Amino acid sequence: MVDLRSLLPNAGRDEVEYRSRLFLAALVLIFLVLVLRLGLLQVVRGPYFEALARGNRIRLVYLTAPRGALLDRNGELVATTRPSFAASLVYMGEPYTDEMLAKLEGILSLPPGRIRDLLRKERGRLYLPVRLKNDISPEEHTMLEEHRHELPGVVIETVPIREYPYGSLSAHALGYVGLLGAEDARLQAQADSQAGVRAAAGMAAVRYELNNMIGMSGLERQYDAILRGTDGVREVEVDSRGNPSRVEREVAPQPGLSIRLTLDLRLQQALDTALLASIDRIKKQRGPAYATSAAAVVLDVKTGGVLAMTSWPAFDPNWFASGNVDMGSVEWLNRVTQGRYIPGSVYKMITALAALEEGVVTAKDHVYCSGGYRLGRDYIRCWVGDPGHGSLNIIGAIQKSCNTFFLEMGSRLRAKMRQTDPIKGGIDILSDYAAQFGLDGPTGIDLPGELAGRVPRTTAAAWLPGEDIQSAMGQSRHAYTPLQLAHYVATIANNGIGYRPYLVQRILDGDQVLVETQPEIARPPVSVSQQSLDLVKQGMLAVTKPGGTAYGSFWDIPIQVAAKTGTAQTGKPINNGLVLGFAPYDDPQIAWAIVVEGGDGGSYSGGPVAREIVRTYFGLDGGSTAPSGPREVDTDW
Is the pLDDT at 98 greater than 90? The verdict is: no
pLDDT at 277: 97
What is the pLDDT at residue 440?
A: 92
What's the N-to-C CA distance of the chain in angstroms?
134
E strand or H helix that includes residue 132? strand 130-133
Look at 312 and 38; give whichever has higher pLDDT. 312
Q: Does 408 have pLDDT greater than 70?
A: yes
Tell me the per-residue pLDDT of 200-232, one tens digit each, with 9 for 90 and over: 999 999 998 877 889 999 999 999 999 999 988
CB atoms within 10 A of CB 4: 9
| Per-residue pLDDT at 399 | 96
Q: Compute and round to an integer the Cα radius of gyration of the chain.
A: 36
CB 552 within 8 A of CB 601: no
**Long-range contacts of the stretch 196-203 (C-beta < 8 A, 24+):** 197/226, 197/257, 197/507, 197/514, 197/515, 198/225, 198/226, 198/257, 200/509, 200/514, 201/257, 201/509, 201/514, 203/229, 203/230, 203/254, 203/257
* Alpha helices, DSSP H, located in 122-234: 138-146, 171-174, 185-193, 195-200, 218-222, 224-227
Confidence (pLDDT) at 97: 86
Cβ neighbours of residue 273 under 8 Å, at least 6 residues apart? 612, 625
pLDDT at residue 566 tops 80: yes
Question: What value does the mean pLDDT take over residues 434-441?
Answer: 95
Interhelix angle for 138-146 vs 98-107, to 10°? 150
b/e burial code for range 317-333 (CB count within 10 A of at least 16 → b): bbebbbbbeeeeeeebe
- Indicate the pLDDT class of residue 438, thresholds 50, 70 and 90: very high
Stretch among 84-98, 237-251, 382-396 having the lowest mean pLDDT: 237-251
Q: Report pLDDT for 626.
A: 47
d(CA 564, CA 440): 20
The average pLDDT across 576-601 equals 96
Alpha carbon 69 to its chain centroid, in Å, reads 16
**Which whole number is the average pLDDT over 46-61?**
59
Determine the average pLDDT of the residues in 507-533. Answer: 95
Q: Does position 17 have pLDDT exceeding 80, yes or no?
A: no
The whole-number average pLDDT for the span 421-434 is: 90
Q: What is the pLDDT of residues 608-630, one digit of tens each?
A: 999 999 999 999 965 444 454 55
Kindly report the backbone phi and psi dihedral angles of residue 626, in degrees, each rounded to the nearest multiple of 5, phi listed first: -110, 130
Spell out the long-range contacts of 1-8 with Cβ–Cβ below 8 A and sequence spacing 24 or more.
none
pLDDT value at residue 335: 97
pTM of this structure: 0.85
Q: Which of 14, 39, 179, 159 is nearest to 88 (CA)?
A: 159
Interaxial angle between packed helices 348-357 and 482-493, expressed in degrees from 0 to 180 and rounded to the nearest 10:
40
- Residues sharing a CB contact under 8 Å with residue 472, sequence separation 6 or more, in sequence order: 348, 351, 406, 407, 409, 410, 411, 413, 426, 430
What's residue 59's pLDDT? 65
Selected residue with higher pLDDT from 236 and 393: 393
Q: Which of 273-282, 321-330, 527-536 has the lowest average pLDDT? A: 321-330
Mean pLDDT calculated for residue range 367-380: 86
Average pLDDT over residues 430-439: 95
Cα 10 to its chain centre, rounded Å, is 101
**Domains annotated on the chain, with CATH:** 59-261 (3.90.1310.10), 265-321+342-617 (3.40.710.10)
pLDDT tens-digit readout, 589-604? 999 999 999 998 899 9
pLDDT surpassing 90 at residue 49: no
| Span of 33-42, 46-55, 102-111, 340-349 with lowest mean pLDDT | 46-55
Amino acid at 470: Q
Burial of 601 (0-12, 13-18, 19+ CB in 10 A): buried
| 496 φψ region: left (φ > 0), alpha (ψ -120 to 50), beta (else) | left
C-alpha–C-alpha distance, residues 437 and 499, integer Å: 11
Could you read off the pLDDT of 85-97 as tens digits, one per residue? Answer: 888 887 766 778 8
User: Which 8-state DSSP code applies to residue 633?
Assistant: -
Q: What is the mean pLDDT of the chain?
A: 87
Helices (H), 169-287: 171-174, 185-193, 195-200, 218-222, 224-227, 265-286
Say if residue 632's pLDDT is above 50. no
Question: Tens digit of pLDDT for each residue in 260-293?
Answer: 999 999 999 999 999 999 999 999 999 999 999 9
Q: How far, in Å, CA of 457 to CA of 430, rounded?
A: 9
Helices then strands, counting H and E runs in the chain, come out as 22, 21
Three-point CA angle 88, 90, 95, nearest 5°: 125
- Please write the tens of the pLDDT for every residue from 445-482: 999 999 998 888 887 555 678 888 889 999 888 999 99
Handedness of CA 228, 320, 598, 589 (dihedral sign): negative
Q: Between the CA of residue 101 and those of 6, 131, 424, what are the distances in Å?
A: 76, 14, 71
Return the closest-CA partner of residue 606 out of 568, 571, 558, 573.
568
DSSP annotation string for 490-530: HHHHTTT--BPPB-EEEEEETTEEEEEPPP-B-SSPPS--H
Strand order in the sheet with 576-583: 306-312, 293-300, 590-597, 576-583, 562-568
Q: Return d(Cα 551, Cα 541) in angstroms, integer.
A: 10
Q: 238 pLDDT band (50/70/90 cuts)? A: low
Q: Calculate mean pLDDT across residues 359-381.
A: 89
Give the CA count within 13 Å in the CB-facing half-sphere of 203: 29
| Rounded Cα distance, 118 and 533, in Å | 62
Between β-strands 244-251 and 258-261, what pairing exists: parallel, antiparallel or unpaired? Answer: unpaired
What pLDDT is attached to residue 153? Answer: 80
**At residue 502, does pLDDT exceed 80?**
yes
Q: What is the mean pLDDT of residues 171-187?
A: 87
Give the per-residue pLDDT at 327.
57
For residue 446, the 8-state DSSP code is S
Confidence (pLDDT) at 353: 98
